[in-house]
């Protein structure tokens, strides 16, 4: 939507973010019960709740503004990115989703940091003599474009990750009778 829309206003940016965040929150919350085990549901539930709240706030048409877009998306991305990055780092080796969480958490933090660099009040008038048209490049146009780029990168990465086969952990080999002969069992300190 962001890529093919010429309108990158705060209203459009917040409505797109709202729809994306609510859909993402639903996926997190459903996955918490369908994918994760009982002991590992905390992180997807926290991410789902935080993302749902951000999406609901962005969905309120009466308060949509450039300031709200930057404040909401920066706050959401830094908090949820940190939660996902920390959970990925803590789960390395034990959790099959840890690498994905580290990358997505890092990209989400990069979104927040990228938006922190953009001045919401930025405005640049331009004119293209070749086509005879001009316009204004604004901070919100850049901010909504950065969010659109983030969403596209995350969608492609997670789409590829979702359809990529995972390696199953190697099953321990069962000892055979020839491996546990009388000499080997006693050498290993086991009674024969």
1 Cβ partners below 8 Å, 6+ apart?
A: 16, 148
Q: Does 184 map to a domain? A: no
For the four alpha carbons of 11, 13, 18 and 20, in that order, the dihedral sign comes to positive
- Per the domain annotation, does 47 fall within a domain? yes
Is position 28 within any domain?
yes
pLDDT, tens only, 139-148 = 998 999 899 8
User: How many structural domains compose the chain?
Assistant: 1
Helix, strand, coil: what percent of the chain each, to 5?
65, 5, 30
pLDDT at res. 150:
94
Percent above pLDDT 90 for the chain? 53
171 in a structural domain: no
- At 34-91, the pLDDT tens digits run 988 888 889 999 999 999 999 999 999 889 999 999 999 999 999 999 999 999 999 8
Q: How far apart are the first and last CA of the chain?
A: 71
pLDDT value of position 78: 98
Q: What is the pLDDT of residue 172?
A: 61
Q: What mean pLDDT, rounded, does the chain reach?
A: 85
Highest mean pLDDT among 44-53, 120-129, 146-155, 169-178: 44-53
Domain that residue 95 falls in? 10-162
Q: What is the model's pLDDT at position 182?
A: 55
CB atoms within 10 A of CB 129: 7
**Assigned domain for 20 exists:** yes
pLDDT over threshold 90, residue 174: no
Per the domain annotation, does 118 fall within a domain?
A: yes
The per-residue pLDDT for range 87-117, each reduced to its tens digit, is: 999 988 877 778 899 999 999 999 999 999 9
pTM: 0.79
In a domain, residue 172? The reply is no
């Amino acid at each position: 939507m962001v890529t093919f829309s010429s309108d990158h206003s705060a209203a459009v940016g917040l409505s797109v973010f709202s729809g994306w965040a609510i859909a993402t929150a639903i996926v997190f919350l459903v996955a918490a019960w369908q994918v994760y085990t009982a002991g590992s549901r905390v992180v997807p539930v926290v991410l789902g709740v935080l993302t749902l709240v951000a999406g609901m706030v962005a969905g309120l048409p009466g308060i949509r503004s450039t300031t709200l877009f930057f404040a909401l998306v920066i706050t959401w991305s830094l908090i949820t990115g940190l939660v996902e990055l920390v959970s990925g780092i803590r789960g390395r080796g034990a959790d099959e989703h840890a690498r994905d969480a580290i990358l997505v958490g890092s990209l989400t933090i990069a979104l927040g940091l990228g938006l922190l660099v953009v001045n919401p009040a930025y405005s640049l008038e331009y004119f293209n003599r070749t086509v005879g048209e001009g316009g204004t490049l604004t901070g919100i146009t850049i901010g909504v474009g950065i969010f659109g780029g983030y969403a596209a990168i995350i969608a492609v990465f997670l789409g590829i990750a979702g359809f990529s086969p995972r390696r199953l952990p190697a099953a321990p080999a069962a000892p055979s009778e020839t491996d546990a002969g009388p000499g080997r069992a006693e050498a290993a300190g086991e009674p024969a």
